[in-house]
Amino acid sequence: MAKITPRSQDFSEWYLDVIREADMADYAPVRGCIVVKPYGWTLYENMRDYLDKRFKDTGHVNAAFPLFIPMSFLQREAHHVEGFAPELAVVTHGGGEVLEEPLVVRPTSETIIGYSYSQWIKSYRDLPVLINCWNSVVRWEKRTKPFLRTMEFYWQEGHTAHATHEESLAEVLRMLNVYYDHMREDCALPGFRGRKSINERFAGAINTFSVESMMGDKRSLQSCTSHDLGQNFARAFEIKYLDRDNTEKYCWTTSWGLSWRLLGAVIMVHGDDQGLRLPPRIAPIQVVIVPIFRNDAERSQVMEVAEPVCRSLKASGLRVKLDDRDETPGFKFNDWEMRGVPVRVEIGPKDVASRSVGLARRDLPGKASKSFVPQEGLAERIHALLPEIHASLLKQAEDFQNGNIRECFTWDEVREAVQDGWALAPLDDHPANDERIREALTAKSLNFPLDQPEGEWACVVSGRKVRERALIGKSY
């Protein structure tokens, strides 16, 4: 088993080592792209399935739209094309001929969906339209890292149309909360819901909201976004409806997305120097059974118990792997620790004799993780243990995050805080202030949390009186 770089030594190298050694992904022959291997893809699928159910439970339906978008569609919304221009991959030839109009490889779908909505929506009876897509997009990134920033990445993007701004804004905040609940309840990830600054808004939106999460190196990851598009795209694409009063009105639209970078967050928030630590709900394998024996006689004796135990755990609904490889127990322990399996069941000759098993949980270190329990009632015991492991991972992550955020009220305090964590500081939402933070501190305003205390303070950059505080830190 290869060694991985300690997190404290080089967090970036540790992250790449874990992805490689846990057999999650490999580099593709195309620069900036990755091949996702079965273990990594299953983890993504599990996250996707939980999120997809949450969407459907809130009335959304899935659809698919083309990968290629006419260049003229992007040019209809000026801020949108300006914001995405540096990242576009453009097709100019097809079938050996020059195309009459260049096609953009989908960087996001507002424009192609806007066109479709203009064809479908005619009356107030057609509203709201609540559609989600699971797809990949292409953005021509210069600096890439697996799952966090790649030229092609997988995600979901929701696009909705409404009769009023009140309805569309409620949708924007509802989906922000859906993401927040998915992060906490499925992925054991804490974060802060908030509004992005003017500088950080999605191109073409009137407001963008996000959940910002602290990674293990104290940098922020924008885990998801939800955009209030106002009527900007509706006007650009003539998305109109005939209202009850027989007048034609423009729709109010939203878009919201969460990509596989949340998988990267799971790695960076929960992982340790032994590799992954996966929350049970999304783990590809929830329980691994490791039989322990020294010879063929012991192997036969142990497998007679291990195989029925495996069958009973699977029958109870657990995702189980019986590791009968011809490797040493130590190798197997290290391998499954690297892959972050929440629970390991060890069965050796002594366990067979005593009708017990060794039970090790991945969320705790050393001796605290290990116990010996009866074979009888093992499935029920593990089912009860998995929520404990989830709660333990969430608490560890939340304690780390909250312990590395400092309340600041002066520029000098902010400058000191962002060297090794985040600042929570009064900030005037103005592009010039964002630029000062970026240039002087190599940091950024992450978001203005929705939960704000009452008060008035001096902006740490301009000195102007404000009633909001922003999270400020270094980010991915």
Which of these, 305, 287, 289, lies nearest to 376 by C-alpha position?
305
Residue 365 has pLDDT above 80, yes or no: yes
pLDDT tens digits, 168-199: 999 999 999 999 999 999 999 999 999 999 99
Q: What's the average model confidence in pLDDT over 221-242?
A: 97
Q: Give a yes or no: residue 257 inside a domain.
A: yes
9-58: pLDDT as tens digits: 999 999 999 999 999 999 999 999 999 999 999 999 999 999 999 999 99
Q: Residue 13 CB: number of other CB atoms within 10 A?
A: 13
Residue-wise pLDDT tens digits, 261-305: 999 999 999 999 999 999 999 999 999 999 999 999 999 999 999
CA distance 148 to 223: 10
- Residue 295 is inside which H or E element, if any? none
Q: What is the CATH number of the domain that holds 353?
A: 3.40.50.800
pLDDT for position 1: 58
Same-domain status, 343 and 263:
no
- Tokens 């192997």 found at: 299
Q: pLDDT for 90-116, tens place per residue?
A: 999 999 999 999 999 999 999 999 999
Whether 431 is in a domain gets the answer yes
Q: What's the whole-number mean pLDDT along residues 354-381?
A: 95
CA distance 273 to 307: 31
Residue % of the chain over a pLDDT of 90:
96
Q: Both 142 and 208 in a single domain?
A: yes
Q: Rounded to an integer, what distance in angstroms lies between the CA atom of residue 331 and that of residue 354?
A: 25
Structure confidence at residue 368 (pLDDT): 87
Q: Are strands 240-242 and 248-250 parallel, antiparallel or unpaired?
A: antiparallel
* Cα–Cα distance, 134 to 148 (Å, whole number): 18
Q: Which of 230, 245, 270 is the last residue of a domain?
A: 270
Q: Which amino acid is at 316?
A: S
Beta-carbon contacts of 394 under 8 Å, excluding residues fewer than 6 positions away, are: 184, 188, 189, 190, 279
Residue 148 falls within a domain, yes or no?
yes
pLDDT of 2 strictly over 80: no
Cα 33 to Cα 149: distance, rounded to the nearest angstrom: 9
Asked if the structure places residue 227 within a domain, the reply is: yes
Take residue 221 and report the two structure tokens written for it. 């990851």
Provide the pLDDT for residue 142: 87
Does residue 223 surpass a pLDDT of 80? yes
Instruction: Write the CB contacts of 425 (distance below 8 Å, at least 6 apart in sequence).
Output: 407, 408, 409, 413, 414, 460, 469, 470, 472
Q: Are residues 172 and 245 in the same domain?
A: yes
pLDDT band at 251; cut points 50, 70, 90: very high
370 and 421 in a common domain: no
The mean pLDDT value for 412-429 works out to: 98
- Total domains in the chain come to 3
Indicate the length of the chain as a whole number.
476
**Are the beta carbons of 233 and 239 closer than 8 angstroms?**
yes
Residues 425 and 300 grouped into a single domain? no
Q: How far apart are CA 55 and CA 370, in angstroms?
A: 38
pLDDT at position 81: 85
Q: Is the pTM of this model over 0.75?
A: yes
Give yes or no for residue 462 having a pLDDT over 80.
yes
* Residue 133 shares a structural domain with residue 193: yes
Q: Give the percent of the chain with pLDDT over 70.
A: 100
User: Based on the domain organization, do 136 and 251 belong to the same domain?
Assistant: yes
Measured in degrees and rounded to the nearest 5, phi and psi for residue 313 equal -65, -40
Position 210 pLDDT exceeds 80: yes
Specify whether 86 is located in the same domain as 187.
yes
Looking at residue 439, its pLDDT comes to 97
* 368 in the same domain as 455: no
Neighbours of 454 (CB within 10 A): 5
Q: Are 356 and 239 in a shared domain? A: no
Runs of H (alpha helix) within 70-217: 71-75, 78-84, 110-120, 165-187
351-366 as b/e, with b when 16 or more CB fall inside 10 Å?
bbeeebbbbbbbbeee
Stated as kind and residue range, the H or E segment containing 199 is: none
User: Does any domain span residue 154?
Assistant: yes
Residue after which a domain boundary falls, among 222, 237, 270 = 270
- Confidence category of residue 77, pLDDT binned at 50, 70, 90: confident
d(CA 323, CA 301): 16
**Structural domain for 448, as ranges:** 405-473
- 118, 252 Cβ separation under 8 angstroms: no
The per-residue pLDDT for 366 is: 86
Q: Would residue 132 count as lying in a domain?
A: yes
H or E segment and range at residue 258: strand 252-259
Same domain (yes/no): 117, 181: yes
- Residue pair 340/278 in contact by the 8 Å Cβ criterion: yes
Q: Write the CB contacts of 17 (distance below 8 Å, at least 6 apart in sequence).
A: 2, 4, 5
Question: Is 398 within a domain?
Answer: no
Q: Are residues 250 and 363 both part of a single domain?
A: no
* Mean pLDDT, range 415-438, rounded to an integer: 98
Question: Looking at the domain assignment, is residue 277 inside a domain?
Answer: no
Structure confidence by residue, pLDDT tens digits, 327-343: 999 999 999 999 999 99
pLDDT for residue 443 is more than 70? yes
Q: What is the mean pLDDT of residues 352-362?
A: 96
User: Which of 240, 270, 300 finishes a domain?
Assistant: 270
CATH number at residue 450: 3.30.110.30
Give the CATH number of the domain where residue 204 resides: 3.30.930.10
